[in-house]
Amino acid sequence: MAISTEGRSDITILPSVSHPLDPLSAEEISAASSIVKTQRQLGPRVRFETIVLLEPPKDTVLNFHPGDSIRRNAFIVILDNDVQSTYEAVVSLDEERVLSWQHIPGVQPRVMFDEFAECEAAVQAHPEFQAALRKRGINDPRLVMVDPWSAGDYGFDEEKGRRLVLARCFVRSSATDNGYARPLEGVTAVVDLNTMEVVRIDDYGLVPLPPTDGNYAAEFVGEFRNDLKPLEITQPEGPSFQVDGQYVTWQKWHMRIGFTPREGLVIYTVGYEGQGRVRPVLYRAALSDMVVPYGDPSKDHYRKNAFDAGEYGIGSLTNSLSLGCDCLGEIHYFDALVNSGRGDPFTIPNAVCMHEEDYGILWKHSDWRTGQTEVRRSRRLVVSSIATVGNYEYGFFWYFYQDGTIQMEIKLTGIVNTAAVPAGETPQYGTLVAPQLNAHIHQHFFNFRLDMSVDGESNSVYEVNTVAEPPGQDNPHGNAFYAKATPLKSELEAQRIIDPMSGRYWLVSSASTKNALGQPVAYKLMPGENILPFAHPDASVIKRAGFMTKHLWVTPYDPDEITATGKYPNQHPGGAGLPEYTKNDRNVENTDVVLWYTVGYHHVPRPEDWPISPVAYCGFHLKPVGFFDTNPVLDVPPSTHHNGACHS
């Protein structure tokens, strides 16, 4: 494909693509921004929040065959700082033109990475902020770290219509010092990102900086353990997976790897080989949004809640991963291509890591009568990415197991958010993790959108609870209990919370396909550690992140319903996303269903979480239930040890 050269001195040749879901290339991102700049006559003060592939209709993807023609459209979100307005555009890369252009009134796109540095510079240079620093004995504003926190929506008239952040500040003692050890308590700069103007400085009074540092880097650690011996992971014949562009096959799994600046890692068209075909399980799976509500009501700490996908773009903040550090073994990396605020392509090298891991015993049995033992070792495919959002790191690890199980594991680490307290004060809404240093109590809520496709696009959802049979004629000895499946027929019926005391899980079953036993083939969503929010139902964060009030939501497939908080959660007053999608109580029986699963992690900080938190874990599983006629891993070959095979 070639872009028109009219009005340009260069010629851009776009690379060919092999599949409709291939992410935009660097050349396509450049071409898309160039087309819209030229044809819409955009000025120099526009920012490109998003330039991504406009994913084609599901039918197009599912019916695609190699060699079919592929139409390439880009979806773009643009913020014009001069007129303080947001626009959405669709650009045809084949026809070299803007197909649609729409003003989206009353919304704020997410905070963009280039705005971080500009905001920090504006705050550091502001005379009133410098005066507040001098009152606290700080003479060099360049040592102040400025973290732009989203302002949310609290109904303040003077904030309406402005693109605001609350700049929360921390003081370094040197260039490599951990500034989070010394929060600048009680001083917040409110910044308008459209103009990069410091609107006001909120000063709640003097609180001394905490006295001790919190440095954790190797250069600050005096002595390391000396009793760790080398641990080698080798695959002398290479890994067992195959990669063709974004397409991956491993054991009997098939999938495509994708990436967006808002969601980060996306897994497409997941299927498992069987019965002479690749049987679909998931069409699309990704983080939909997340929020971190804090529990301190004082000063402006009550405004601490960050929507790390919808307000910041967790994909844009993804790390470049390193062999031997983030990933071990025989690794395949996928780069991620995102756009800068000016519409240029930006590559995150090694954004996604893929490798195999040994995972202990897959199955085993020893027959004491025959003396025969059979054991197989389990192996899993790991597809992962890690993002840094300010002080926190979030790892998203998709695991694919040989027996058809899929697991999502979130790994939380990084630095707890801190506030200073006077000497001798014991904080009520947090934990003292160092002298005069408070780590606020908080929660992390993640919502994952799982576009299910269990052996086809027509599925139904059931809630399964284990029920104790009442004593009586059917249960004379009082020992009986059974699993009871209840259909969830509509969106409101399907808004559910976990119940570990009943062994609750949710079953997604095919409306048409049955196994050899005459049972509907199915997958079950199995909750892991979870919790509900403690914020009051009238709290702003509950209105804006309604998804976290339920662990399960189910909707019929709609290509426009991608995010649990709506397209523009930044400074949104609330009600968007899942509460809006489900208000009409649509049918979710025998149709193309989407599961939205919320994972909540509850964090009461410990001193052991300072100065950097050991990894914590949460997540969920998708496991086959009658999807196979029998154990699907009987054909996994025996492993070997130094005396021979692992069976006798």
| pLDDT digits 0-9 by tens, 404-458 | 999 999 999 999 999 999 999 999 999 999 999 999 999 999 999 999 999 999 9
| Ramachandran sector of residue 554 (left: φ over 0; alpha: ψ -120 to 50; beta: rest) | beta
Check 283, 302, 312, 392 and give the catalytic one.
392
In a domain, 18, yes or no: no
Residues 6+ apart with CB under 8 A from 307: 150, 289, 290, 291, 544, 545, 565, 569, 570
Are residues 343 and 447 located together in one domain of the fold? yes
- At 66, list the tokens: 């190699």
Are residues 54 and 123 located together in one domain of the fold? no
Are residues 98 and 189 located together in one domain of the fold? no
In a domain, 15, yes or no: no
In a domain, 13, yes or no: no
Are residues 287 and 196 located together in one domain of the fold? no
Compute the average pLDDT of residues 638-647. Answer: 70
Given a cut of 60, whether residue 3 has pLDDT beyond it is no
Are residues 567 and 451 located together in one domain of the fold? yes
Are residues 84 and 126 located together in one domain of the fold? no
Give the whole-number percent of the chain exceeding pLDDT 70: 97
Range of the domain at 311: 242-641
| CATH code for the domain in which residue 124 is found | 3.10.450.40
| CATH code for the domain in which residue 461 is found | 2.70.98.20
Are residues 168 and 295 located together in one domain of the fold? no
Q: Is 585 a catalytic residue?
A: no
Are residues 71 and 139 located together in one domain of the fold? no
Given a cut of 80, whether residue 573 has pLDDT beyond it is yes
Encode pLDDT of 541-570 as tens digits.
999 999 999 999 999 999 999 999 999 999
Are residues 506 and 587 located together in one domain of the fold? yes
Given a cut of 70, whether residue 2 has pLDDT beyond it is no
Are residues 169 and 144 located together in one domain of the fold? yes
- As a whole number of angstroms, the distance between CA 38 and CA 293 comes to 42
Compute the average pLDDT of residues 584-596. Answer: 98
- As a whole number of angstroms, the distance between CA 224 and CA 132 comes to 40
Domain boundary among 49, 74, 104: 104
In a domain, 374, yes or no: yes
Domains in the chain, number: 3
Quickly state the pLDDT bin for 643 (edges 50, 70, 90).
low
In a domain, 352, yes or no: yes
Are residues 353 and 409 located together in one domain of the fold? yes
Are residues 120 and 92 located together in one domain of the fold? no
Summary mean pLDDT of the chain: 95
pLDDT of 648 reads 64
- As a whole number of angstroms, the distance between CA 620 and CA 528 comes to 5
Q: How far is CA 37 from the centre of its chain?
A: 31
Residues counted in the chain: 648
pLDDT of 12 reads 54
Domain boundary among 71, 104, 137: 104
- At 133, list the tokens: 């620093």
Compute the average pLDDT of residues 347-358. Answer: 97
In a domain, 545, yes or no: yes
Compute the average pLDDT of residues 103-128. Answer: 97
In a domain, 232, yes or no: no
Domain boundary among 220, 255, 277: 220
Q: Is 157 a catalytic residue?
A: no
CB 616, CB 608: distance < 8 Å: no
Check 153, 308, 455, 592 and give the catalytic one.
308
Question: Looking only at Cα atoms, what is the longest distance across the chain?
Answer: 88
In a domain, 189, yes or no: yes
